[in-house]
Structure 1
Amino acid sequence: MSNERPWLAHYPEGVPAQIDLHAYASVAAVLEEAFAKFRDRPAFHSFGKELSYGQIDELSRQFAGYLTGVLKLGKGDRIAIMMPNVLQYPIALFGALRAGLVVVNTNPMYTARELKHQLEDAGAKAIVVLDNFAATLQQVVAETEVEHIVTTGIGDLLGLKGTLINFVLKHIKKMVPDYRLPHAVRFRDALAQGAAHPVPKVDLGHDDLAFLQYTGGTTGVAKGAMLSHGNMVANMLQAGAWIGTNAKPGEEVIITALPLYHIFSLTANGLVFTRLGGLNWLITNPRDMPGFVKELKKSRFTALTGVNTLFNGLLNTPGFAEVDFSRLHLSLGGGMAVQRAVAERWKKVTGVTLAEAYGLTETSPAACINPLDLKDYNSSIGLPIPSTDVAIWSEDSQPLPIGEVGELMVKGPQVMQGYWKRPDETAKVLGADGWLHTGDIARMDANGYVYIVDRKKDMILVSGFNVYPNEVEDIVMTHPGVAEVAAVGVPDEHSGEVVKLFVVRKDPNLTVEALKEFCRENLTGYKRPKLIEFRDALPKSNVGKILRRELRDEKKAASPAA
């Protein structure tokens, strides 16, 4: 057995080979336990306001009462949540899960086109949206099945200070565009109405869906990964076991700067640390690095998760080196490759090793994590976590020997049920035997450490977000001045990679700026091309398929100045 799972011999002390999957019937059961156990401890912090586990219990119960008692939504109905990291997010999330609803996490930065696709595809009946993004919803809501809208402002749960914040955002910073959603209900009103309704006892089991977590597809259209209560409970227990010996229940303060609508932050911060009775210190706008550093100085934090660009950004922000790192014991990087230079600098400044982890939306997300007692950065994505099997397969789906390079395969209780309403897409990545094709090219060493060698053939990874070239190309091709286009990722110091377009023009007068403007209207920020190059022709295969790899390789071969 040990030959098959060489990693088990290298597990940190106290980490079990298997987890007890039946410890909890559902995510809701995990929440109920945390609310009872840590009632008086702080659970979430935002803009100087703190809510205890008891308060989150009460408020999420009221929200669940509103969903079931007032809106008459029932088990399995889908609800979209379109918010950054504000106090309303966990209340809406936990309320929806307690009511047995399926949560559809929705990126607030979506364009109207992207939002419409997701709401339509998921068949969402309700949505909770922050005022800042309600104008986007207004454009498309009539074309979806959404019947119920709950709106809220960033300051709505922050008392008097919140009123001021809302005023400044709308009237001074002009960050809240005017919108008209006549039948929308305010979040606080929904809570007040829900308080009159008891939460029905919903019978939830491992097979019931908890999330439709949308991820780009190689076909270009975002697909909903069906993550069940069993998947999420498994990953909470797996990650919990991994950090367990390191983390003290009821004493942790985790900095939550990655958005909770992103699977990494959702599971690692929002759920794992809630089960531990930790305090999630919410950062609403991590792009404001000076403001972020100010928050860090107030928080006496013990743990921090992020993507490489976030760690790099902090290291380059004045004042970060003066932060008190005396309680910090866990720095976890995921979502994109952690760069050696960043990891080494992080260790020097904070005294804590930046441990890299690996996961996918399809694996809820954690599959491999580095031991947390790691002395130094090792360029590996770590060891397979408890109850997880990892293998390296050849092109013809045969397991390869240790050290050989092939496709990284993952199997375990955290692997999704499949893609929502897309059996054909599911069949491409998930075998009847439970093995998931990650599409990542990797090797494993004799100790079970996994190293990513190359990424999914064409995917572009911008600050931890997947960008699928097909989607970008499909949109750009709708521009009347474009004849052909190829989108590739090119290295970028700030975000890991950025999108570069190679375009053959139909209209000789088409300019780079005009095309960029078109992309701004149709694509979320991270999907927009930063570079555009016009060409007379694009390289193609004998069947006429544009060869993106050639364009990428050409960029690598060219000197940096080219």
Structure 2
Amino acid sequence: MTSLVAPIITHAETTPDHEALRGPAGSLTYAQLVGEVKAYAGMLAARGVAPGDRILFIGPTLPEFVVGYLGIHAAGAIVVPVNPLCTPAELSYFIDDAGCRLAIAWESLASAARTAASEKGIDFLTLSAGATADADAITDVHDFDDADIAMLLYTSGTTGRPKGAELTTGNLTAAARISGQLSQSTADDRVGTGLPLFHVFGQAAVMLSGLHSGATVSLLPMFTPTSMIDLIVKDQLTIVCGVPTMWNAMLHAPDDTPADAFNHLRLAVSGGASLPLEVSNAFKRRFGCDISEGYGLTETAALGTFSRPGTPSPIGTVGPAVPEVDVEVRGSDGQPVPTGERGEVFIRGPIVMRGYWNRPDATAETIDADGWLSTGDIGEFDEAGNLRIVDRAKELIIRGGYNVYPSEVENALYEHPDIVEVAVVGVPDEHYGEEIAAVIATTPGVTLDAAAVRDWANDRLASYKLPRAVHFVDALPKGPSGKILKRAIDPEPLLAAVVEYRAARNG
């Protein structure tokens, strides 16, 4: 049987009473989880859902999300998980583009989805506490081919309308298997996260991987640094997964965690964005746990490279290619570049998506005839085969003919003890083409000015890399996974800051 539910059924048969999921309202054993998934699938089938149908799905990071997600899959339908914060207009676009026949949304998040479903003339179903299903359970879950689409996950992109990445059953099964192999997870592990489960990281590398391994998965519906620390301590997590802004926030939580509270935590996994060096070092100092960084995309089911536990990769790198996957760094001529040289990162393997839904041109532009996916990221390999992601190709700043990688400037600024968050972006400039701007959030109550920031950077960076524009905010805009959204930063204050800097220099 090829199904995301198949390994969970195996665990339910061999260890039925082992806890599969934990949430604020209680837990589910593997036997209970399989029973609820089959009941949910039965309810969908009774409502006319057929294999291949696309189902819009909205839910928080709770066990009910897992039941609904796997229930849709068990019925043979395609899950279309989306952000609960989407507006009716955005949801209408997803419904139209994917051709959804049903929308399902968590009870307290249902308003926008109900409106969009009504406007588009499709059925709407509330996902309620306990994921109750009022129909007979299916006997057998749907049997997929590896190449069958299991999920459409819409990529936010930087330009144009979102595209649906076609992740197959084979993609997600491979991602779960490989993630488990990398973390060396077993049924004895307790895996936890506050990541949104509609995001590929939370789905593939945490939810599906943990259940594939037979581990107990603890879910936190609303991340705060204190609640994440409490979850690690209360559930004695052995593996925890998050993004850099989460680790950074935990560092700034009240320092009242007992020194031995994290003794059982053997692995912290970071992804979604580059992890600043100082955040990694500070986490190790405070909590006594190394953070292993990985790299992947929605289009690669969250996988690509990973820093192997027990064999730490050099700080600033994201490890070598994961098992079963090939990674290359290529120059502008399309050929692999020598070790230590920079180029675009390409990935090939069983985790690479089938394509973009109804976008043959975009698919052809992204995946070549040999199965290599163009990531749009700039990277370099070291002598040991560890990849360093330098930046997004589209985020590269070219100032006066010099290439400036925002992550390098951000890492230097993160070393400042009073800088909590920072994003470095390029703004248009008549003289240099682009000028470097830093948007900074400081420790509450701390006063920091632009001159002090530039002085700090001047001791650590070449002069052409210094941020001329410095703008302070209470917090940086973030996406649903906690990743800083540079495209949401208002450029007007940055342009004004450049003018102010120039005027001060010329005056």
TM-score (norm 1): 0.71
1:378–1:532 distance in 2 versus 1, CA, 3 Å = closer
- SS of the aligned residue for 1:88 comes to helix
For residue 445 of structure 1, what is the aligned residue in structure 2?
A: 382
User: How far, CA to CA, are the matches of 2:442 and 2:200 in structure 1?
Assistant: 22
Q: How does 1:115-514 map to 2 (within 5 A)?
A: 115-144=91-120, 146-152=122-128, 156-157=129-130, 187-188=131-132, 191=133, 193-194=134-135, 196-244=136-184, 247=185, 249-286=186-223, 288-319=224-255, 321-322=257-258, 324-375=261-312, 378-458=315-395, 491-492=439-440
* 1:230, distance to aligned residue in structure 2 (A): 0.8
- SS of the aligned residue for 1:51 comes to strand
Amino acid at match of 2:288: G
* 1:136, distance to aligned residue in structure 2 (A): 1.3
Q: Which moved more, 1:214-223 or 1:428-437?
A: 214-223
User: How far, CA to CA, are the matches of 1:434 and 1:525 in structure 2?
Assistant: 30
1:215–1:558 distance in 2 versus 1, CA, 3 Å = farther
1:320–1:489 distance in 2 versus 1, CA, 3 Å = farther
User: How far, CA to CA, are the matches of 1:363 and 1:64 in structure 2?
Assistant: 27
Pairs aligned (count): 430
* 1:35, distance to aligned residue in structure 2 (A): 2.5
Contact 1:215/1:225, CA 8 A, preserved across alignment: yes
* 1:256, distance to aligned residue in structure 2 (A): 1.6
- SS of the aligned residue for 2:176 comes to helix
- SS of the aligned residue for 2:164 comes to strand
User: How far, CA to CA, are the matches of 1:493 and 1:376 in structure 2?
Assistant: 29
For residue 70 of structure 2, what is the aligned residue in structure 1?
A: 94
* 1:201, distance to aligned residue in structure 2 (A): 5.0
Contact 1:340/1:377, CA 8 A, preserved across alignment: no
1:454–1:100 distance in 2 versus 1, CA, 3 Å = same
User: How far, CA to CA, are the matches of 1:72 and 1:320 in structure 2?
Assistant: 53
Contact 1:314/1:320, CA 8 A, preserved across alignment: no
User: How far, CA to CA, are the matches of 2:354 and 2:384 in structure 1?
Assistant: 30
Amino acid at match of 1:292: M
* 1:49, distance to aligned residue in structure 2 (A): 0.8
* 1:237, distance to aligned residue in structure 2 (A): 1.8
Amino acid at match of 1:111: T
For residue 492 of structure 2, what is the aligned residue in structure 1?
A: 533
Amino acid at match of 1:147: D
* 1:145, distance to aligned residue in structure 2 (A): 5.4
User: How far, CA to CA, are the matches of 2:256 and 2:243 in structure 1?
Assistant: 17
- SS of the aligned residue for 1:227 comes to strand
User: How far, CA to CA, are the matches of 1:414 and 1:324 in structure 2?
Assistant: 36
CA-atom RMSD in angstroms: 3.2
1:422–1:145 distance in 2 versus 1, CA, 3 Å = farther
* 1:144, distance to aligned residue in structure 2 (A): 2.6
Contact 1:99/1:200, CA 8 A, preserved across alignment: no
User: How far, CA to CA, are the matches of 2:384 and 2:496 in structure 1?
Assistant: 33
User: How far, CA to CA, are the matches of 2:115 and 2:440 in structure 1?
Assistant: 34
1:43 aligns with 2:38: no
Amino acid at match of 1:142: S
Amino acid at match of 1:57: V
For residue 25 of structure 1, what is the aligned residue in structure 2?
A: 2
* 1:418, distance to aligned residue in structure 2 (A): 0.4
- SS of the aligned residue for 2:161 comes to coil
User: How far, CA to CA, are the matches of 1:489 and 1:259 in structure 2?
Assistant: 30
Residue 83 of structure 1: which of 52, 59, 64 is its match? 59
* 1:558, distance to aligned residue in structure 2 (A): 8.3
* 1:291, distance to aligned residue in structure 2 (A): 3.3
* 1:396, distance to aligned residue in structure 2 (A): 2.7
Amino acid at match of 1:533: E
Superposed CA offset, 1:63-115 (max 9, x none): 011111x1121111111220111221011011111111111111101122222
User: How far, CA to CA, are the matches of 1:239 and 1:456 in structure 2?
Assistant: 27
Q: Which has the higher contact order (CA 8 A, sep 6+)?
A: 1
Contact 1:253/1:303, CA 8 A, preserved across alignment: yes
Contact 2:377/2:391, CA 8 A, preserved across alignment: yes
* 1:345, distance to aligned residue in structure 2 (A): 1.0
Contact 1:85/1:259, CA 8 A, preserved across alignment: yes
* 1:489, distance to aligned residue in structure 2 (A): 8.8
1:489–1:119 distance in 2 versus 1, CA, 3 Å = farther
1:494–1:230 distance in 2 versus 1, CA, 3 Å = farther
* 1:308, distance to aligned residue in structure 2 (A): 0.5
* 1:131, distance to aligned residue in structure 2 (A): 2.4
* 1:122, distance to aligned residue in structure 2 (A): 1.2
Identity of aligned residues (%): 29
TM-score (norm 2): 0.78
User: How far, CA to CA, are the matches of 1:528 and 1:381 in structure 2?
Assistant: 24
For residue 480 of structure 2, what is the aligned residue in structure 1?
A: none
- SS of the aligned residue for 1:457 comes to helix
Contact 1:124/1:145, CA 8 A, preserved across alignment: no
Contact 2:11/2:30, CA 8 A, preserved across alignment: yes
Contact 2:307/2:320, CA 8 A, preserved across alignment: yes
Contact 2:296/2:305, CA 8 A, preserved across alignment: yes
- SS of the aligned residue for 1:285 comes to coil
Amino acid at match of 2:81: N
1:367–1:375 distance in 2 versus 1, CA, 3 Å = closer
1:98–1:284 distance in 2 versus 1, CA, 3 Å = same
* 1:414, distance to aligned residue in structure 2 (A): 0.5
Contact 2:73/2:142, CA 8 A, preserved across alignment: no
Contact 1:28/1:94, CA 8 A, preserved across alignment: yes
- SS of the aligned residue for 1:379 comes to coil
Contact 2:3/2:142, CA 8 A, preserved across alignment: no
* 1:327, distance to aligned residue in structure 2 (A): 1.0
1:433–1:147 distance in 2 versus 1, CA, 3 Å = same
User: How far, CA to CA, are the matches of 2:390 and 2:439 in structure 1?
Assistant: 16
* 1:209, distance to aligned residue in structure 2 (A): 0.8
Contact 1:330/1:352, CA 8 A, preserved across alignment: yes
Q: Which moved more, 1:425-434 or 1:29-38?
A: 29-38
* 1:430, distance to aligned residue in structure 2 (A): 0.8
Contact 1:344/1:377, CA 8 A, preserved across alignment: no
- SS of the aligned residue for 2:56 comes to strand
